[in-house]
Chains A and B, each alone.
Chain A
Amino acid sequence: MRHLNLALPACILLVTVPALAEGVPLGPEAWPALIDAHLRDLDRAFAADPGADQVRAPYQKTVRHLRELREHLVVKGFATTTASAWITAANRTWQLNVSPVDGTETIFEPDSTVLAPASSPTIAAIRKIRDSIASQITVPVALDTFKTRVSRSSDQWGRFYKGVVLQEYPWESFLNAGLDWRRSALDAPPDRQWRLLHPVSGLVAYQGRSTTGTASTAILGLEALGLQWYAEDDQRAYKATWGLSALFTLKGPGDASNGYGLMGTYRDFKLGVKWGRLPDGRGTSQVILSLNLVQYLQLKGDQGLSTAIANMGQ
């Protein structure tokens, strides 16, 4: 924690309290003594206040909050997560609030301790103490907490939405979101998604038995039901990793029936195996590759696949 490193000896408190409010942060070791000095100043101001009765409530509340803060720092010590969280929460106690309704200045909300009348020495002392506590203790700690929290969050949901949700078909997307309705924006996005009736295209790269003898036929199929896993890559973009789906393909030329099988995914590549029947009634199996996998394999020099890609859809 930054403030421990910046700690200075408590003897620096020999300077006056107003000077402290304007000076550099003292560090946690000096905080209890700083609070003691504020308590003394406040008592003096209240004792000398001709309208003390009018400002007794804010005086008492300030004393209570100062003592509470001191007790917390001394008893629990600052160098604990609990104390840091407590001071962050206490930040709002010492926040100066200007009402957007009538301009009334308050602290210690929601109790609405009004910082008036301005002429009161007690109120003037409370204002100085507030500024000092805020600048020396609560605001620096709250800003540290804020930075920690912000670095933890970094629009993870936006990246998930772009990398995963927008790659799904609407029915898949609504299905996944509906099944996952309890996941709030506070939670991390899921690492897997259902696939449902997801159209896929590919090329038959291998056929067990064939009447036409034509491999590399382009086919259209559906990932009927499956699961797809995702993970963030080095650039924190969501990418598909592994997946497995039940595959359904439409009857193509040279087939006597629709096909059924399995399709696996690894990153952008898909590889499937399907079974169907030939017109002569014999069963046949086929290996199907996604187009990008085919393109990858083209590097191996398979001209037959290149031709099939070029002829797709014609």
Chain B
Amino acid sequence: MAKECKVLFIHGIGDGKADFAEAAWKILSDKHKAMTGKALAPSAKVPVRYNDLFEDFRKAPKDGLQEVRPFIQDAAVLEALQDLQGSGSFAYTHILDVLLWRFHTYARNAVIERVASTIEPFLPGVIQGTTNLVLVAHSLGTAVLTESIHLLAADGRLAGCWLPAVHMLANVAKVLEGPLIPAYRPPSPSRCRPPLATADSDAALLHYFTYRNLYDPVPMVDRFRPDWREAVYHETTLRSWGPKGVVNPHDLATYVQAPEVYMKLLRSMTLDFTAFSKEREIQEIQNATQAQGAPTPTEAKLREILTALIAQYGEKASPAAFVKLLQALVIAKIL
């Protein structure tokens, strides 16, 4: 019996718009159509949002300010308060989101529970073997998903079943790991892991896919590199710049449009190993490389800087490498 596929997308930092997964889904659907002649069923896509919890925090406390406002005579102060509650600046969204996730126990727990309870309705299908549940997380979403799966497993809500696969794009589960549950550090790592050994009854996943763009500074702070078994842990390194003229190595769509990513995702979603074979993946990578063409001046400049940096630091990740890469992005006027 064919399994019904459900793909849950968990968004990254400050990317909680209702249609955040649309661009990535379009890429997957177009590729699927090109290779099989059929588009993906739109009902398979399930965007999982938690950003509204952070947005509510930025607007809080409404009641308290309402109470104090009549006493504030200074128009500038009132305006500043108004701005503070409605601010959409990078510092006030992305940075506060990270601070809330990393240091605010209650916001963190509310986010973990939100994502866990969104996954929950699909679990009976996984338990019965009728649903192929594919979890795709990006950036901050990878840290959130790690904790949410741990919660579902530790709370017994997985009811003893294995989750088939997670796909972590721009994996920051290590960078933003919480104080209680390390992403993979022994002796008690997160249960969001594939079986570490033959007797690993705590593992919640069968397969763990992680993708890192070599030019993406975010996962570089503290790279995700567990010593898990190759049979169940699949790490892919990309060299992807994003669409022509829109250089954003961290973007969700930049990751998904890489053949190394969309082919693995489509395999995982459809369990069709003929249309999305490994041979086809190699061919798609070759095609994408040829289609890349000559880089724009900005891309060329950035590549030069990054290539030098990567040569200097090699595969080692460190805060210093992150700072230098960030500097390079600022110099290239990308950030």
Are A and B bound to each other?
Answer: yes
> Which chain A residues have a beta carbon within 8 Å of chain B's beta carbons?
88-92, 95-103, 109-112, 134, 138-139, 142-143, 145-146, 149-150, 153, 155-158, 160-162, 164-170, 173-174, 176-178, 180-186, 189, 198-201, 218, 220, 291, 312-313
> A183 to chain B: which residues have CB within 8 Å?
105, 109
Interface flags, B104-142, vs A, CB<8A=1, else 0 = 111111101110110010011001110010100000000
Show 8 residue pairs from A and B whose CB-CB distance is below 8 angstroms, ordered by the A residue: A92-B160, A146-B157, A161-B106, A177-B105, A184-B109, A185-B112, A189-B106, A313-B71
Contact A101 B160 (CB under 8 A): no
Contact B106 A173 (CB under 8 A): yes
> A89 to chain B: which residues have CB within 8 Å?
160, 201
Give complex CA distance A146, B127 in Å: 9
Contact B112 A109 (CB under 8 A): no
If A146-B124, A174-B104, A220-B68 touch, whether A95 touches B271 (CB-CB below 8 Å) is no
Give complex CA distance A56, B152 in Å: 36
> B67 to chain A: which residues have CB within 8 Å?
199-201, 291
Chain A nearest CB from B59 CB (Å) reads: 8
Other-chain residue from A139, A176, A199 in contact with B127 (beta carbon distance below 8 A): A139
> Which chain B residues have a beta carbon within 8 Å of chain A's beta carbons?
53, 56-57, 60-64, 67-71, 73, 103-110, 112-114, 116-117, 120, 123-124, 127-129, 132, 134, 147, 151, 154-157, 159-162, 164-165, 179-181, 194-195, 197-201, 203, 206-207, 209, 231-232, 234, 264, 267-268, 271, 273, 278
> B110 to chain A: which residues have CB within 8 Å?
157-158, 160-161, 165
Give complex CA distance A139, B123 in Å: 12
Most chain B beta-carbon contacts within 10 A, residue among A90, A165, A199, A291: A165
> B209 to chain A: which residues have CB within 8 Å?
100
Contact B64 A199 (CB under 8 A): yes
Other-chain residue from B124, B165, B198, B271 in contact with A110 (beta carbon distance below 8 A): B198
Chain A nearest CB from B6 CB (Å) reads: 14
> A149 to chain B: which residues have CB within 8 Å?
155-157, 159
If A103-B273, A146-B157 touch, whether A165 touches B107 (CB-CB below 8 Å) is yes
> A176 to chain B: which residues have CB within 8 Å?
106
Contact A100 B164 (CB under 8 A): yes
> B112 to chain A: which residues have CB within 8 Å?
157, 185
Chain B nearest CB from A140 CB (Å) reads: 9
> B60 to chain A: which residues have CB within 8 Å?
165-168, 170, 173
Contact B114 A92 (CB under 8 A): no
Chain B nearest CB from A103 CB (Å) reads: 4
Chain B nearest CB from A285 CB (Å) reads: 22
Q: Which residue of B lies closest to A220 (CB)?
A: B71
Contact B164 A88 (CB under 8 A): no
Q: Which residue of A lies closest to B157 (CB)?
A: A149
If A139-B128, A166-B57, A180-B105 touch, whether A110 touches B156 (CB-CB below 8 Å) is no
Contact B234 A101 (CB under 8 A): yes
> A166 to chain B: which residues have CB within 8 Å?
56-57, 60-62
Pairs A-B, 3 closest by C-beta atoms: A313-B70, A110-B195, A91-B160
> A150 to chain B: which residues have CB within 8 Å?
120, 157
Give complex CA distance A23, B116 in Å: 34
Give complex CA distance A32, B32 in Å: 47
Give complex CA distance A99, B181 in Å: 27
Contact A201 B231 (CB under 8 A): no
Contact B162 A109 (CB under 8 A): yes
Give complex CA distance A201, B104 in Å: 28
> B179 to chain A: which residues have CB within 8 Å?
181-182
Give complex CA distance A138, B129 in Å: 12
Give complex CA distance A102, B268 in Å: 9
Chain B nearest CB from A288 CB (Å) reads: 13
Chain B nearest CB from A168 CB (Å) reads: 6
Chain A nearest CB from B43 CB (Å) reads: 20
Give complex CA distance A158, B109 in Å: 8
Contact B271 A98 (CB under 8 A): yes
Chain B nearest CB from A81 CB (Å) reads: 12
Give complex CA distance A250, B16 in Å: 42
Give complex CA distance A198, B201 in Å: 48
Contact A111 B198 (CB under 8 A): yes
Task: Kindly list 10 other residue pairs between chains A and B, CB separation below 8 angstroms, not including A153-B155, A185-B112.
Answer: A100-B271, A110-B198, A142-B160, A142-B161, A176-B106, A177-B103, A177-B106, A180-B105, A312-B70, A312-B71
If A97-B162, A153-B155, A201-B70 touch, whether A158 touches B64 (CB-CB below 8 Å) is no
Give complex CA distance A186, B154 in Å: 8
Q: Which residue of B lies closest to A100 (CB)?
A: B268
Other-chain residue from A111, A155, A198 in contact with B113 (beta carbon distance below 8 A): A155
> B104 to chain A: which residues have CB within 8 Å?
173-174, 177
Give complex CA distance A134, B128 in Å: 8
Contact A165 B161 (CB under 8 A): no
Contact A178 B105 (CB under 8 A): yes
> A164 to chain B: which residues have CB within 8 Å?
106
Contact A157 B160 (CB under 8 A): no
Contact B157 A153 (CB under 8 A): yes
Q: Which residue of A lies closest to B203 (CB)?
A: A110
> B264 to chain A: which residues have CB within 8 Å?
100
Contact B161 A92 (CB under 8 A): yes
Contact B160 A109 (CB under 8 A): no
Other-chain residue from B57, B151, B232 in contact with A186 (beta carbon distance below 8 A): B151
> B120 to chain A: which residues have CB within 8 Å?
150
Q: Which residue of A lies closest to B271 (CB)?
A: A98
Chain B nearest CB from A195 CB (Å) reads: 11
Contact B161 A99 (CB under 8 A): no
